[in-house]
């Protein structure tokens, strides 16, 4: 198995950074204003859309974008019609299709599929949605709609509601909102919250803090009047000086998501958080933009469609132009230069912590050991480079002395980064030939 | 739910009128003669083909037409690969895809889907076949083949045979033949006749009359030597003065259709009407063009394929060029002006008669009340604006006086059209707050 | 049923001949070197890809090739979404789609489907893989990779390994290797050998002989140290003069194939022949190119991917450019003239031997009598013109005398070819009205 050491492409919101986003929004706005300027910019280019999960809107949105730029499209819209049904691995598929096309858009049911595919081919890969993890072009659509409304994101408060556990769009958007310094209110359905580790990473990476905020409407939605709020530590606000939980008096945007039944999510009758026409009269939502990645189920009744705050069909409508901008950013840097995306660390093949514990991680389906990357300075938390699954290690080995130490011992502290070999337990260390060093 | 008040686009043969058809045929002929003249006429245009039912020929025919004009195509060929499998409504789908494309071709299993979709988006919608109702581009193909053979339709007699109950192509063609003043002979399979209301609408709309005609071959096909004949009242013919059923001595065209098993149609062994090589020798068919929309089953044996009267592969062959003409008529009126299609009445939202009684009507699947439109002067018959399903009302309410009357009473007669509120029964009227006015 | 009397197009390796191949390889090399030269050569052309079997790589490879030349593509990627599900015949489908497109690529589960389709339409048909029989463009890919490595094929030894019974790629390649005079070593899995008649045809057609060769590795692969070797009779080699089975000391290329489980093939655990990293060290493989049509299963471990002898991802990569050359050879003979393909004999409709005995032959599914063609001078062996299924006849009738004779009798010998009517047995001859002539 030959895998490239880098993960280039657009795999998750982690690739986004403020300079890129600011320039990107500006460019999309120009494209919207002058659609014909780039209409043959990708003439002669072949874009592959490989969709191993049901989808209409995302695939057609990418394909319309490609055609609007004069590119050709080859598409595999149904995994059952494909070599996958003959048992082909994702890595082989990506290598082969990468040989046919100039860019590949991948949708896949497993976490981290886009990242792994990008290691199989030098052809750029764009994540069209993989597992519970990433959907960065949807996030760019969501952000662009807000940018078009607001101009900038400073001081904004955005709530994300629904199936945070399984919904990649909510997770992907939340990370990107933190990139932009936005306050995020979390309104998960009962049993549909995301895992603590993901939130911890947002807090650590962006110097955010977690507090609580309340509003009577929150109880209607989640059964709990109080909601978790993620916000930049620097944000000055009166609630800092009070014991009680402050009221959230305004939402600038509310991002709804449907229950992800295709990923096994379930909700009791009436228990899934949704919006009603009546709630739209509540002052909390007076100037609140209503977003939804669509398709929707009962959480968003069609009565709201004609409300000027409802922007979800606008989201769908700008899907192609936002994706045109992504294609141009990746394939026509000569005419369309943008600040760089943040490269995604590929993980170290030297750190051997075995199989990824996430059963939906693409590495397990492909029979690969996960490449692990360390998070933070404590050297305790490691992430699977594909699916961001976390492991916490307790022991640190030194490749130079061949000794293993408790992680928080002085000896462990003195191991240089390039010599660090983490272990989950002493047993594993000893099996790997390390001696106990105290 | 925001629905547009009009149903623009090409949804059923009801949109066709003689000036449009005459000009259209002429233009198709020119296109056939000079295929390269318009080869980039739709460069930069994106056409979406959304097919929620199995199809090869229709979808590929539309797509070939689009490519022959330089357009790009985005396609969803299988509802199982789509957001429909996540429970999305047709209205949402149409609105979203309408935002991606410049024109949408829709095939759908439910009656009236094309009309409803056209109300969700300002993007033009073409019906590629919906439910049992419409398939207007197939009808244009069928008519064009006859036009190419005959030049005009005056005095022609065309028989339609087979599954008239479930086959949208036969129904759609019959209506269009009435637009052109053609005599129509009906040869349905046993139990496969269309509903009386549809035929009644043809008779009323086109000033046609129903009579009977006979021929020994009819018995071979339908088990009955006599067949219903629809013809313009003005047609002079000797049989008018005789008691007995006159013989049909010549068919100018015979339109066969297959049993629509996918819509639940069944036929006993040997009971489905079909053509044989031997029958082709019968004088009735001496100059009869044989048409079939294909695919075929046993009703049309391949031995007939080489007969010069067999035109069904010619039908298939002109499919793309006819659809090119349709695309040009809808998207390039600057270069390709044609008389207007007849707009389709959208029905009045004020007339509230509840759910459409047709269980295959798209309005029921979408949870919408049917918009009803009145037919004729008697104000008794109302059609579902989507599926043409009929209701007969017995009571008329007056929105101004808030009184309800028996339909044929003098008081009902005096209600002005804008105040008319029909009711199926007195109970419904009283529930709606109307008082009995005698 | 109207079928054309010829089988034009690229249906199987039998169409290949040395002058065509030499010129073809040269042209592909030029295309690889100057990809932009032909980038709009097929502008305005519509290519249909009709795939009635699962496939990713082949369909996408053809479609990428079409787009690289500026052609448009209409595609039917899944038979379940098609008129086939309404019971349409292949002949009807091919005739209809042939009317839409300028060239048709067909993949089909039945043997001989491509040949039959080519008789339904004047539009050229390319076989994208049908049944167990043909996959000529894959063979052109395989050969081109070897050409690029070797320059010419003289004196080369190529082994084909795996599921020779069901794998069309191995069979198709073997025939083409014989066209080029290559020595072929056969390494079938247990119970997965091809039928004797196919090999006999290679031996007869190309003046090859069958011998045995041995090597210890062969036992690892097939359970037998000795393997069949097909080679030109003219090949001078010392083993000709010895009794014992000579050792094969060098393979120039090894062509692996996976078990064709979708065609019902089975292999016991561990019994399917595959390659290991360790075997790559064996001197037999020192300069051996490793080829595989992909997708692969366990027979080709990914550890070998980085070995410079591994060329299977190169095969996949040149798929589009090889298919570009095929398109140009068939559609742009004005700019891209090549020696002609060998036309495929269509069989004589006068030779009536009834249904083809091969239950996977397309003729049986379509309800057609097989057109038979005679092989060799003995006039004993007849091939189904669609699937190459063989019949051996024992009696010869004379259409002029209406007498039937034993095949090897003098009377039979004197029947002129145009009068010959073969019979499987005397009974059939007498039923056909022939009298016994001794």
A431 burial class (0-12, 13-18, 19+ CB within 10 angstroms)?
exposed
Per-residue confidence band for A1, with pLDDT thresholds at 50, 70 and 90: low
Residue from B330, B60, B78, B45 nearest A64 by CA: B45
Per-residue confidence band for C274, with pLDDT thresholds at 50, 70 and 90: very high
- Which one from A59, A68, A107, A379 is the annotated catalytic residue? A107
Report pLDDT for C377: 77
Nearest CA to CA, how far is C84 from chain B (Å)? Answer: 8
**Contact (CB, 8 A) for B159 and B256:** no
Question: Which chains neighbour C (Cβ–Cβ under 8 Å, 3 or more pairs)?
Answer: A, B
Look at the alpha carbons of A128, A130, A132, A133 in this order and tell me if their dihedral is positive or negative: negative
Per-residue confidence band for A84, with pLDDT thresholds at 50, 70 and 90: low
- Per this entry, what is the length of chain C? 438
The closest CB to that of B60, out of C84, C88, C100, belongs to: C100
> Residue B264 pLDDT more than 80?
no
Q: Is C331 helix (H, G, I), strand (E, B) or coil?
A: helix
Residue of chain B whose alpha carbon sits nearest to that of A262? B86
Mean pLDDT score, C325-330: 95
Quote the CA–CA distance of C12 and C15 in Å, as a whole number.
6
Mean pLDDT score, C334-358: 85
> Residue C82 pLDDT more than 70?
no
Residue from A56, C94, C73 nearest B78 by CA: A56
The closest CB to that of A67, out of B2, B46, B92, belongs to: B46
> Residue B375 pLDDT more than 90?
no
- Supply B121's token pair: 């988006």
Quote the CA–CA distance of B404 and B426 in Å, as a whole number.
8
- Which one from A2, A80, A86, A238 is the annotated catalytic residue? A86
Look at the alpha carbons of C397, C400, C402, C406 in this order and tell me if their dihedral is positive or negative: negative
If one compares C133 and A255, the residue with the highest pLDDT of the two is: A255
User: What would the pLDDT profile of B175-188 be if each residue is shown by its tens digit?
Assistant: 999 999 999 999 99
Per-residue confidence band for C352, with pLDDT thresholds at 50, 70 and 90: confident
Lowest mean pLDDT among A138-147, B340-349, C429-438: B340-349
> Residue A2 pLDDT more than 80?
no
Give the active site residues of C. Answer: 57-58, 86, 107, 135
Report pLDDT for C374: 87
Lowest mean pLDDT among A250-254, A371-375, B97-101, B166-170: A371-375
Nearest CA to CA, how far is B306 from chain C (Å)? Answer: 6
Report pLDDT for B81: 47
Percent of chain A with pLDDT strictly greater than 90: 74
Q: Which residues of A touch B92 (CB under 8 A)?
A: 294-296
Q: Which residues of A398-411 are buried (b: 16+ CB within 10 A; e: fewer)?
A: beeeebbbebeeee
Contact A313 B96 (CB under 8 A): yes
Range with the largest mean pLDDT of B418-422, C124-128, C269-273, C339-343: C124-128
If one compares C1 and B54, the residue with the highest pLDDT of the two is: B54
If one compares B272 and C1, the residue with the highest pLDDT of the two is: B272
Q: Which residues of A touch B81 (CB under 8 A)?
A: 51, 54-56, 77-78
Contact C74 B54 (CB under 8 A): no
Mean pLDDT score, C73-101: 81
Other CB atoms within 10 A of residue B43 CB: 13
Residue of chain C whose alpha carbon sits nearest to that of B300? C1
Contact C57 A97 (CB under 8 A): yes
Nearest CA to CA, how far is C421 from chain A (Å)? Answer: 45
Q: Is C288 helix (H, G, I), strand (E, B) or coil?
A: coil
Residue of chain A whose alpha carbon sits nearest to that of B51? A56
Residues with Cβ within 8 Å of A10's Cβ and at least 6 positions away in sequence, in order, are A125, A126, A127, A136, A137, A326, A330, A341
Report pLDDT for A17: 95
Q: What is the value of pTM for the model shown?
A: 0.94
Q: Is C16 helix (H, G, I), strand (E, B) or coil?
A: coil
Contact C2 B306 (CB under 8 A): yes
> Residue B353 pLDDT more than 70?
yes
Residue A43 among the catalytic residues:
no
User: What would the pLDDT profile of A387-405 be if each residue is shown by its tens digit?
Assistant: 999 999 999 999 999 999 9
Contact A84 C313 (CB under 8 A): no
User: What would the pLDDT profile of C44-69 be if each residue is shown by its tens digit?
Assistant: 999 999 998 877 789 999 999 999 99
Quote the CA–CA distance of A302 and B313 in Å, as a whole number.
46
Mean pLDDT score, A228-244: 73
> Residue A226 pLDDT more than 90?
yes
Report pLDDT for B69: 97
Mutate to test the interface with A, among B1, B54, B96, B367 (most CBs of A within 10 A): B96
Report pLDDT for A179: 97
Residues with Cβ within 8 Å of A149's Cβ and at least 6 positions away in sequence, in order, are A289, A311
Residue A209 among the catalytic residues:
no
Q: Is C254 helix (H, G, I), strand (E, B) or coil?
A: strand
Give chain B's domains with CATH numbers: 13-132+318-331 (3.40.50.1370), 137-316 (3.40.50.1370), 362-436 (no CATH)
| Apex C48 CA angle, C42 and C50, nearest 5 | 150
Report pLDDT for C84: 55
Residue A403 among the catalytic residues:
no
Phi, psi for C326 (deg, rounded to 5): -65, -45
Mean pLDDT score, A350-371: 89
- Which one from B34, B80, B86, B238 is the annotated catalytic residue? B86
Determine how β-strand B395-398 pairs with β-strand B403-406. antiparallel
Interface of C with A (CB under 8 A): 36, 39, 51, 54-57, 59-61, 63-64, 67-68, 77-78, 258, 261-262, 294-297, 302-303, 305-306, 313, 316-317, 319-320
> Residue A237 pLDDT more than 60?
no
If one compares A221 and C262, the residue with the highest pLDDT of the two is: A221
CA distances from A129 to A125, A136, A315, B89, B403 (A): 12, 8, 16, 22, 59
Report pLDDT for C79: 58
Percent of chain A with pLDDT strictly greater than 70: 95
Q: Which residues of A244-256 are buried (b: 16+ CB within 10 A; e: fewer)?
A: eebebeebbbbbb
Residue A296 among the catalytic residues:
no
Phi, psi for A237 (deg, rounded to 5): -160, 150
Q: Please, what is the average pLDDT of chain C?
A: 91
Quote the CA–CA distance of B280 and B302 in Å, as a whole number.
13
| Apex C45 CA angle, C42 and C51, nearest 5 | 110
Per-residue confidence band for B344, with pLDDT thresholds at 50, 70 and 90: confident
Residue from C134, C93, C139 nearest C112 by CA: C134
Nearest CA to CA, how far is A77 from chain B (Å)? Answer: 7
Q: Is B185 helix (H, G, I), strand (E, B) or coil?
A: strand
> Residue B71 pLDDT more than 90?
yes
Mean pLDDT score, C184-194: 96
Quote the CA–CA distance of C47 and C69 in Å, as a whole number.
11
Report pLDDT for A178: 98
**Contact (CB, 8 A) for C110 and C53:** no
Report pLDDT for B238: 55
Report pLDDT for C81: 47
Q: Please, what is the average pLDDT of chain A?
A: 91
Mean pLDDT score, C407-431: 90
Mean pLDDT score, C272-280: 97
Per-residue confidence band for A81, with pLDDT thresholds at 50, 70 and 90: very low
User: What would the pLDDT profile of B57-68 be if each residue is shown by its tens digit?
Assistant: 899 999 999 999
Contact B57 C83 (CB under 8 A): yes
B5 burial class (0-12, 13-18, 19+ CB within 10 angstroms)?
exposed
Residue of chain A whose alpha carbon sits nearest to that of B367? A302
Mean pLDDT score, C336-362: 86
């Amino acid at each position: 198995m030959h895998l490239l050491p880098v993960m280039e492409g657009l795999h998750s919101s982690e690739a986004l950074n403020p300079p890129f986003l600011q320039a990107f929004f500006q460019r999309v706005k120009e494209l919207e204003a002058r659609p014909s300027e780039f209409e043959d910019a990708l003439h002669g280019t072949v874009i592959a859309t490989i969709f191993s999960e049901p989808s209409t809107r995302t695939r057609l949105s990418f394909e319309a974008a490609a055609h609007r730029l004069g590119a050709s499209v080859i598409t595999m819209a149904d995994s059952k019609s494909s070599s996958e049904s003959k048992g082909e691995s994702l890595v082989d598929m990506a290598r082969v299709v990468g040989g046919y096309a100039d860019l590949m858009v991948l949708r896949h049911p497993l976490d981290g599929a886009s990242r792994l595919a990008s290691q199989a081919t030098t052809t750029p890969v764009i994540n069209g949605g993989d597992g519970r993890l990433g959907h960065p072009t949807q996030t760019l659509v969501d952000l662009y709609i807000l940018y078009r409304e607001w101009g900038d994101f400073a001081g904004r408060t955005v709530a994300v509601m629904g199936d945070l556990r399984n919904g990649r769009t909510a997770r992907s958007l939340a990370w990107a909102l933190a990139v932009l310094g936005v306050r995020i209110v979390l309104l998960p359905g009962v049993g549909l919250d995301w895992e603590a580790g993901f939130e911890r990473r947002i807090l650590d990476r962006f110097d955010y803090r977690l507090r609580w905020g309340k509003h009577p409407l929150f109880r209607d939605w989640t059964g709990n009047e109080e909601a978790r709020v993620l916000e930049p530590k620097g944000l000055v606000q009166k609630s800092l000086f009070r014991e009680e939980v402050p009221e959230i008096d305004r939402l600038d945007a509310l991002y709804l998501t449907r229950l992800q039944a295709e990923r096994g999510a379930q909700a009791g009758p009436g228990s899934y958080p949704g919006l009603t026409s009546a709630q739209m009269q509540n002052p909390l939502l007076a100037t609140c933009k209503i977003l939804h990645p669509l398709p929707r189920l009962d959480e968003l009744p069609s009565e709201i469609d004609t409300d000027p705050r409802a922007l979800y069909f606008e989201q769908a409508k700008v899907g192609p132009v936002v994706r045109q901008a992504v294609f141009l950013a990746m394939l026509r840097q000569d005419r369309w230069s943008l600040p760089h995306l943040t490269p995604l660390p590929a993980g170290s093949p030297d750190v051997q912590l075995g199989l990824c514990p996430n059963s939906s991680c693409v590495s397990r389906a492909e029979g690969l050991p996960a490449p692990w990357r360390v998070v933070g300075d404590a050297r305790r938390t490691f992430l699977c480079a594909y699916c961001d699954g976390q492991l916490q290690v307790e022991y640190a080995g030194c490749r130079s002395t061949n000794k293993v130490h408790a992680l928080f011992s002085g000896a462990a502290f003195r191991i240089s980064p390039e010599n660090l070999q983490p272990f989950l337990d002493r047993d594993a260390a000893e099996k790997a030939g390390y001696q106990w060093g105290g």
